[in-house]
Chains A and B, each alone.
Chain A
Amino acid sequence: MIYSREHINGDVRLIAEVAVIGSGAGGATIAKELSEAGRRVVVLEAGGHFTREDFNLRMDFAATNMYWYGGQLITLGTPMFVIPQGKTVGGTTTINSGTCLRMSHSVLKRWHLEHGLWDIKDEELALYYAAVEEYLFVQKGDPEVLGKNATLFLEGAKSLGFSGGILPRNAKDCEGYGVCCFGCPTDAKQSANISYIPDAVKAGCDVYTGVTVDELVLQGGRVTGAKGRFAGGNGNGSPGPTIEVSADVVVLAAGAFHSPRMLLAQGLCNSSGEVGRNLTIHPCSPTVAVMDEKIGNPKGVPQATYVDEFADDGIMLEGGTVPPLGVAMNLPYKGRRLAEFMSGYPNTAMFGGMLSEHCSTGTVKLHPRDRQRYVITYNLRGDDVRRFRFMTEIMAEVWFRLGAKSVFTPTVSFPDMLPSDLKRFKRQKPKASDYIAVSAYHPLGTCRMGDDPERSVVQHTGETWDIPGLFICDGSIVPMSLGVNPQLTIFALAMRCAGFVDEELEKLAGRQAGGRESSSDLR
């Protein structure tokens, strides 16, 4: 069952085999796999439980209710990035675009060579990927519902000789309502809230929502549970009831920000000093083109097509449409110019690009005054700045090829680029500070996996090096930027991790049985 604050009348004490903290791609998969294997699983989720009935296509509703910090999560550094992260059952899978791409063979080879993760084999991972893809109905979008925005850009890119295609997504019978990032209103997107979590619940898992976990409980060096609190008392500002789960195994799956934050707050699992470090994100740059024809955004699939011509250089272009509110909020214009641009919204087309960093990384540190919060520092550096700029150039080039009258870029120097500006833009020296109001996605790496306890936080199994029984399974363990959207990889890794958790429970049961036998022998 999925419980919320309304179901709870007092403090809650539970006993489970597995306590999972977080219900996103990592936590939901673990919960489903282990519940279906007959394990007693309890999930603690910080966000609320929203369903299709609640998803009203409104960006402001989604930001306020289903995004961490109302969508105001930003990095400190140059430039500052807004990083949308889901705070709801299903985690970020509920509010993402649904793109499901496997990581490339070369990235896995780098995991092997740079992090010693030889135990994660190509063939094994391919099986997990295939299982997840089948379960989530991953398929390329129906060309009839992709929308003009996506097909137009792809057409322009191909006319320049760029490679690209239609993105595979975890969507079934998608009719292109254009609001994946605010919760799918028809349940077409197979996010964890409508797939893994319901199946976990069907198999006996209990999910407690609106719970902030304060403490991982340790006994004799081993994790034995988690303690937290429901948000809000009786609406009078008093703290909510407490919840304590005693468990044989705890799986931390709170995402690349909250997982390290929780460990740092308690000073756990950091013998390597790597907790909170090695943050990679995908810095993204949008372009908005003003076209002669009506485009019809946001109707269609927001992230429907891609251009991977420059993928070897870490540049991936993926469509990304947003409703009028999203465009207006990010425009540099004010006054008459804002109204003029926005009244032309039906004729605007959008596309975004994301960068895999080569030399920029960030950190997640505890907030100096609030242990429940964190500070993210991140600076775009060196060649990444050039490539970030190059990404904007490519997209502007495509739009102008398609006859765009002007292209909005999130730069201070060329916010509104005319075709005649492109050469000057290309000549200008790229500066990170030139970018404002940019966003980033896919935070990874802050509790990274590896074969060396001095350079990593968890083993290839997901179990932490420092605390037996404590597993981490979310984007934080992915040791480097994937170059593609990471949800499919996190689902696949979680499925793999579930097997090791099950093994750990088996071992533990064996030890306990052995212990009982020894005790009886003694008697």
Chain B
Amino acid sequence: MVLRIIEDTVRAMTPHVLGTNTFPDLPVPDPEASVELLRDWLEKGIPEFGTVTTAALLALNLYSLANNGRTLPDCNFRAQASLLERLFKRKGSLTYGFFYIVSMPIVGAYYARDDVQKTLGFDVVALKEEAERRVVSRTASLPKNEPGEELTESAGTL
């Protein structure tokens, strides 16, 4: 039951936390990837970290209940956006810390994606392929790149 609530909360929060809807160059978020990363952290991470994340996500739902009469996932998109925007704008270390924790699986899952990183100029697939051809040995020097084989520059599209 608790797991379902916090997973639904992360799912609902994903587009709001990432705020990519007005940035067409950035790939579309995948709420399921956020949930998957959350599950992974709860399963493999430090238990206390999982407890704090769970408590913070439940607290967010209590806040939503107190303000909107519904849990966050049960609010419509607009009500979710309005509630979260209100919180995002608050200053202070508590709010800062709170959103740092509850947003980690969302931000983590999105910005770890190859397509997102490539859009921002970090093409991990191309760089890995190139690195395969440039293996360094302790006993010999690396040959210079052939003309036309220059290292991959930022491959960003922005």
Contact = CB atoms under 8 A, between A and B. Distances in A.
B138 A195 contact: yes
Interface residues of B, number: 55
A116 interface: no
Given A299-B153, A433-B93, A342 B88 contact: no
A302 interface: no
A338 B19 contact: yes
Contacts, number: 148
Interface string B75-101: 000000000110010011100110110
B111 A190 contact: no
A50 B132 CA distance: 15
Nearest to B17: A334
Nearest to A325: B111
B136 A187 contact: yes
A437 B22 CA distance: 27
B127 interface: yes
B3 interface: no
Nearest to A338: B19
A69 B26 contact: no
A220 B153 CA distance: 63
Size bracket, chain A contacts:
35 or more
Contacts of A402: none
B116 A324 contact: yes
| Interface majority SS (helix, strand, loop, mixed), chain B | helix
Interface string A410-437: 0010010000000000000000011011
Contact of B136 (A58, A60, A188): A188
A433 B108 CA distance: 25
Given A69-B46, A185-B131, 12 more contacts: A52-B131, A177-B131, A186-B135, A194-B138, A299-B122, A299-B151, A323-B122, A332-B100, A334-B84, A335-B84, A346-B120, A412-B93
Closest 9 CB pairs between A and B?
Answer: A335-B19, A185-B131, A173-B142, A336-B19, A328-B111, A60-B112, A325-B111, A339-B19, A345-B120
Interface of B: 16-20, 22-23, 25-26, 40-41, 44-46, 49, 84-85, 88, 91-93, 96-97, 99-100, 103-104, 107-108, 110-112, 116-117, 120-122, 124, 127-128, 131-132, 134-138, 141-142, 151-154, 156, 158
14 contacts: A70-B45, A173-B136, A175-B134, A188-B136, A294-B154, A299-B122, A333-B88, A334-B17, A334-B88, A335-B19, A343-B23, A343-B25, A343-B120, A346-B121
Interface of A: 52, 56-60, 64, 69-70, 72-73, 137, 172-177, 185-188, 190, 194-195, 294, 296-299, 323-325, 328-329, 332-340, 342-343, 345-346, 412, 415, 433-434, 436-437
